[in-house]
A = this chain, B = another copy of it.
Amino acid sequence: MKTELCKVDEALSILVGKWKPIILLHLFNENTLRFSELKRLMPNITQKMLTKQLRELEEEDIIERVVYPQVPPKVEYSISEYGKSLQPVLNVMHEWGSAHTQHMQGKRNEKILEQSQ
């Protein structure tokens, strides 16, 4: 991998955002979700942030947004065909993240053991 061509940042820029990974996870799990359903699945997110993060993911072609012309409105979100290419990336990161949590827990335990001696 050439230094000048490092594209890790490109992938990061898509995934970074306090709620993007969890939004993607829900959409991968459920295929299709309405705005209000996503909101319910993430009680702590504000409407503003949910809207914003969804817009950004849509902008990058990761998710699809379908508006049904109704009253009251109905909007459905789903992973785009292209967006599915992110699945393996998320999987690798998830697995490494899990391992890392355990690794660091091990480190902490070592420290406690040292101190108790």
Asked if A6 lies at the interface with its beta carbon under 8 angstroms from chain B, I say: yes
* Nearest B residue to A14, CB-CB: B100
Count residues of A near B (Cβ-Cβ below 8 Å). Answer: 42
Within 8 A of B (CB), among A85-117: 85-86, 88-101, 103-104, 107
A interface residues, Cβ below 8 angstroms from B = 1, 3, 5-12, 14-16, 21-22, 25-26, 28-29, 41, 60-61, 82, 85-86, 88-101, 103-104, 107
- Would you call B12 and A16 a contact (CB within 8 A)? yes
Instruction: State how many copies of this chain the complex holds.
Output: 2
Contacts of A1 in B (CB 8 A): 25, 28-29, 90-91, 94
Interface of A is mostly: helix
- Would you call A11 and B89 a contact (CB within 8 A)? no
Distance, CA A10 to CA B93, complexed state (A): 8
- Would you call A8 and B26 a contact (CB within 8 A)? no
Contacts of A26 in B (CB 8 A): 3
- Would you call B16 and A104 a contact (CB within 8 A)? no
